[in-house]
Amino acid sequence: MDHSAPGPAARALSMVRRHRVFAAAFGVGAVLRLITMLGYGPAMWFNDSYEYVSVALHPRPHPIRPDGYSFWLMLLKPFHSFTLVVLTQHLMGLATACLIYALLRIKFRLPKWGATLAAAPVLFDAYQIQLEQLVMSDTMFMLLVVGVITMVLWKRRLTWQAGAVIGLLLALTWLTRSIGLPILALVVLYLLVKRTGWRPITAVITACAIPVLAYMGWFASAYGKFAMTNSDGLILYMRTAIFADCNKMDIDKYTEVQLLLLCINDPVNQRKDYAQWYLWGQGNGDGTGTGEVLHRWGTNKKFSEITNEAASKFATRAILSQPGDYLQVVVRDFFRSFHWARPRFPDESTYNMYQFKPYYEIDENGQPKRLPKWSSYAGGRTDTDAFSYEQGPPETKIVHPWADIMSGYQKVFYLRGIVIGGILLIGLYGVAVRWRKFGGPVVLPWLGAFGLLLAPAATAEFDYRYVLPAVPLACIAAAITLRRGVTSARRSPKSAGTSGPTTLRVRWSRRSARDKATRS
């Protein structure tokens, strides 16, 4: 028995010493997350959070979004702890940073400080940490996407077994957020261009299709439609409602009555400047306001198959009839990602949900606000479902001084939009100089980042939380682009022409191998 072999603790300590720069950054990121949990426990809430919890308690396909994140909440339900939920999400954020570092350091041979720098936005961005504290699917989605990209780029030759794992991760990505479908298409296209072979590509598609088709079958049993949601057409309608002019859309008033019902009576130049109003707004209460267009179908009918299909036809007609107006709103929302500051968009309420506030919001009675009392699509009520999941008060408790620390930290330490734009431009340069190889390994993370920023602008509306999952992919693309300059800068002209200890060892090993071959 070999007693000289180091134990697990010694090996872990040795690894930390070898990667001390990343280990230090990882430690600071972990401390920031601990402070967040102490200051804003058990969790922070967004408007969508309550529906995720309700589905976890009353399992059924949700008409608006896939249930992947709710399945995760369901697995954690026996512990009755939102603190545990956000802890797992903070671990997901830290795991994402580890994947970035490992990919860049081991696969692409970046120096330790360079790979750490690429992971820094995930570790230190205050809005990233705040998103992890929210009961939301975005952190899980980000980890899955980075995991897929890491596995695809890791090996030059992909086996069918690895392809099956990638396919399962893509299925989880798709079940977490609907944008997983374009990511699947991007990965398959990359593998085809790379000439990976039919076995791994078939494994990717098959392993992804089985869980997704099973979910769609479950959805069909509840709604009579083989699909993932009943909301894609309505969300696209929301996107086009800002500019849609029925006078330009050539709608037949005799055969297309459903499209006429979706026309907005208010003049285009008097409409809201954010699209979410046209799906979630309550209108003026008199049946004539712009927010009433979908609500007059009834809250239980709005996300039905009939309404969704009519909204999809209306949105498609609006885009084809007014392509210039559509392109204008898409470009405008896409470039919102690159502002220096964070303008209050789409509205004050949504903007504030991404803030570390060191104070309680007060209701009309001067008391801290409780969770809203909405009826959920899963069959429960938002406040009572959250209480049932936690087995106690689920409202966010603001604790000083931890809340003050993170509130002050958020004012300074976050990735500015213009910096994200610069990172994307570096990656674009990397794709351009590798045009003979169709962008090489840079193209996959770069197109992933670009797509994650463009898709909301094209199909829904800009939201700050949609930017964060794109940042790790943009950093990976930029780091791979810069790796040649970084690694060559470490070599001086003098050392490039001389034989260092490593070179001598390699030459000695080769000479010994030749001598053994000759003797044999």
Give the separation between CA 461 and CA 192, rounded to whole angstroms: 32
Give the pLDDT score at 146: 98
Q: Are β-strands 40-41 and 397-398 bridged in parallel, bridged antiparallel, or unpaired?
A: antiparallel
Residues 263 and 358 both lie in one domain: no
Q: In sequence order, what are the residues at sequence separation of 6 or more whose Cβ sits closer than 8 angstroms to the Cβ of residue 130?
A: 36, 44, 354, 355, 356, 406, 410
Q: Does residue 218 fall inside a structural domain?
A: no
Q: Residue 287: pLDDT above 70?
A: no
Residues 360 and 453 both lie in one domain: yes
Q: Does residue 195 fall inside a structural domain?
A: no
Residues 321 and 380 both lie in one domain: no
For residue 443, count CB atoms less than 10 angstroms from its CB and return exposed for 0-12, middle for 13-18, buried for 19 or more: buried
| 8 A C-beta contact, residue 277 and residue 345 | no
Q: How many other CB atoms are there within 10 angstroms of residue 44's CB atom?
A: 23
Using the 3D structure, point to which of 326, 357, 382 is the last residue of a domain: 326
Give the pLDDT score at 231: 93
| 8 A C-beta contact, residue 219 and residue 178 | no
Residues 361 and 385 both lie in one domain: yes
Residues 320 and 346 both lie in one domain: no
Give the pLDDT score at 346: 87
Residues 249 and 319 both lie in one domain: yes
Q: Which amino acid is at 448?
A: G
- Taking alpha carbons only, the member of 410, 354, 340, 408 closest to residue 126 is 410
For the stretch 67-105, pLDDT in tens is 999 999 999 999 999 999 999 999 999 999 999 999 999
Give the pLDDT score at 376: 85
| 8 A C-beta contact, residue 129 and residue 32 | yes
Q: Residue 34: pLDDT above 60?
A: yes
Beta-carbon-side half-sphere exposure of residue 247 (alpha carbons within 13 Å): 5
Q: Residue 132: pLDDT above 60?
A: yes
Q: Give the tokens for residue 355.
A: 């803030």
Between 40-44, 150-154, 260-264, 477-481, the lowest mean confidence (pLDDT) is in: 260-264
Q: Residue 169: pLDDT above 50?
A: yes
For the stretch 420-461, pLDDT in tens is 999 999 999 999 999 999 999 999 999 999 999 999 999 999
Between 60-64, 154-158, 221-225, the lowest mean confidence (pLDDT) is in: 154-158
Give the pLDDT score at 489: 44
Q: Does residue 247 fall inside a structural domain?
A: yes
Q: Which of 53-57, 261-265, 494-498 has the highest mean pLDDT?
A: 53-57
Give the pLDDT score at 4: 60
Give the separation between CA 373 and CA 142, rounded to whole angstroms: 30
Residues 408 and 307 both lie in one domain: no
Q: Is 32 helix (H, G, I), strand (E, B) or coil?
A: helix
Q: Does residue 415 fall inside a structural domain?
A: yes
Q: Residue 405: pLDDT above 90?
A: yes
Give the pLDDT score at 204: 97
Kind and range of the H or E element at 487?
Answer: helix 470-489
Using the 3D structure, point to which of 282, 304, 326 is the last residue of a domain: 326
Q: Which amino acid is at 363?
A: D
Q: Which amino acid is at 339?
A: H
- Taking alpha carbons only, the member of 44, 69, 29, 73 closest to residue 133 is 44
Residues 356-360 have a mean pLDDT of: 91
pTM equals 0.90
The string of DSSP letters for 261-295 reads HT---S-GGGS-SSTTHHHH----SSS-STTHHHH
Q: Does residue 284 fall inside a structural domain?
A: yes
Count of structural domains, the chain: 2
Q: Residue 496: pLDDT above 50?
A: no
Residues 433 and 377 both lie in one domain: yes
- Taking alpha carbons only, the member of 230, 223, 217 closest to residue 310 is 230
Give the separation between CA 60 and CA 213, rounded to whole angstroms: 16
| 8 A C-beta contact, residue 288 and residue 301 | no
Confidence of residue 13 (pLDDT cuts 50, 70, 90): confident
Residues 315 and 353 both lie in one domain: no
Give the Å distances, CA to CA, from 149 to 112, 118, 173, 179, 236: 20, 15, 12, 15, 28
Mean per-residue pLDDT of the chain: 88
Give the pLDDT score at 233: 94
Task: Find tokens 């969704």 and name the residue.
Answer: 308
Confidence of residue 2 (pLDDT cuts 50, 70, 90): low
Give the pLDDT score at 3: 57
Give the separation between CA 499 and CA 302, rounded to whole angstroms: 72
Give the Å distances, CA to CA, from 163 to 188, 262, 293, 441: 10, 44, 46, 17
DSSP state of 44: B
Kindly report the three-state secondary structure assignment for every residue of 343-395: CCCCCHHHHHCCCCCCCCCECCCCCECCCCCCECCCCCEHHHHHHHHHCCCCC
Give the separation between CA 124 and CA 132, rounded to whole angstroms: 12
Say which residue, 410 or 7, is predicted with more confidence. Answer: 410
Q: Residue 224: pLDDT above 60?
A: yes
Residues 346 and 478 both lie in one domain: yes
Q: Does residue 160 fall inside a structural domain?
A: no
> Which residues constitute the domain of residue 241?
230-326
| 8 A C-beta contact, residue 174 and residue 181 | yes
Q: Residue 495: pLDDT above 50?
A: no
Q: Give the tokens for residue 509.
A: 């090993």
Q: Does residue 57 fall inside a structural domain?
A: no
For the stretch 499-520, pLDDT in tens is 444 443 444 444 444 444 444 4
Q: At 398, phi and psi to the nearest 5?
A: -90, 120
Residues 342 and 472 both lie in one domain: yes
Using the 3D structure, point to which of 326, 346, 371 is the last residue of a domain: 326
Q: Does residue 503 fall inside a structural domain?
A: no
Residues 241 and 261 both lie in one domain: yes
| 8 A C-beta contact, residue 294 and residue 280 | no
Task: Find tokens 């008409």 and name the residue.
Answer: 63
Give the separation between CA 13 and CA 6, rounded to whole angstroms: 10
